[in-house]
Amino acid sequence: MREPGSIVITGASSGIGESLARLYAARGIALALTGRDRDRLEAVAAACRGQGAAVTAAVIDVTDREGMAEWLLGVDQAAPVDLLIANAGVSAGTGRAGETEEQARFIFDVNLTGVLNSIHPLLPAMRQRRRGQIAIVSSLAGFRGMPGAPAYSASKAAVRVYGEALRGELAADGVEVSVVCPGFVRSRMTARNPFPMPFLMDGETAARIIRSRLARNRGRIAFPWPTAAAVWLLAALPPGLTDRLLRAAPKKP
């Protein structure tokens, strides 16, 4: 696929989304960024404009189906979208009290419904043009349910499998789909973790990996490889061998 000229990134006000926006920003690139924190989003947009990109930034919650559809269709009309990165996501910990119903529903709403709200408004136009690329940001936590973050693990598993299926479904229409499964990446989300995070990497490194592999249309972008290998092993082993180990793992606050 040619280098994208019009790019949409959700969850662009921090973390991987911010790093991707800064990495892609250049003269001749149209960036459409959305996030929930106005001040941080404007700071990212200003930095990207300083690198020469034409930037549209909007404070929209990805759970707002109508708001997302209206914004995305407007973006696509102004500059047909080549690459959509559905990155927005949240996490929460069970701590000592356990995950509440409200937490679980909120996490699923953002991480799963938010992805659907980000993808589907643009799919008809991409199919009609017979080109375009979609990147769905999942997580290595989506390969095995982690007791410390049940809803996060499950919601990321759902979007991973959905993206893998969508890749096969849309291939004949010329639309490429990749699923991104990062390990621990420095962000406001991971900053709250009070436990060691193996192979923790910065957002800039993660963004470079993602961009490079998207350019090669990789179906699954999982990194870093040692963490990915460990998670795949946990997923492959029977629960009787892994349950005790995972129950002893530290919990998010």
Amino acid 229 reads A
pLDDT at residue number 147? 82
Name the more confident of 249 and 218.
Answer: 218
Question: Any catalytic annotation for residue 152?
Answer: yes
Summarize pLDDT for 88-126 with one digit per residue, the tens.
999 865 555 678 999 999 999 999 999 999 999 999 999
Name the more confident of 201 and 136.
Answer: 136
Instruction: Name residue 136's beta-bridge partners.
Output: 86, 179
pLDDT at residue number 7? 98
pLDDT at 24 over 90: yes
CA distance 56 to 31: 6
Count the alpha carbons within 13 Å of 180 in the hemisphere toward its beta carbon.
29
Bond preceding residue 121 cis, omega within 30 of 0: no
Which residue bears the tokens 């990147």? 135
Q: Which of 24, 71, 143, 152 is catalytic?
A: 152
For 113-148, the DSSP string reads IHHHHHHTTTHHHHHHHT--EEEEE--GGGGS--TT
Mean pLDDT of 137-158: 92
Among 38-42, 134-138, 150-154, 225-229, name the one with the lowest average pLDDT: 225-229
pLDDT at residue number 168? 97
Please state the domain extents for the chain.
6-247
Residues 195-219 as b/e (b if ≥16 CB within 10 A, e otherwise) read eeeeeebebbebbebbbebbeeebe
Task: Judge whether 61 and 38 are in contact, CB under 8 Å.
Answer: no
pTM of the predicted model as reported, rounded to 2 decimal places: 0.90
Among 2-6, 42-46, 84-88, 134-138, name the one with the lowest average pLDDT: 2-6
Count the alpha carbons within 13 Å of 142 in the hemisphere toward its beta carbon.
27
pLDDT at residue number 237? 86
Where does the pLDDT of residue 199 fall: very low under 50, low under 70, confident under 90, or very high at 90 and above? low
pLDDT at residue number 186? 75
pLDDT at residue number 245? 72
Amino acid 39 reads D
Summarize pLDDT for 182-196 with one digit per residue, the tens.
997 876 665 565 555
The CATH class of 6-247 is alpha beta
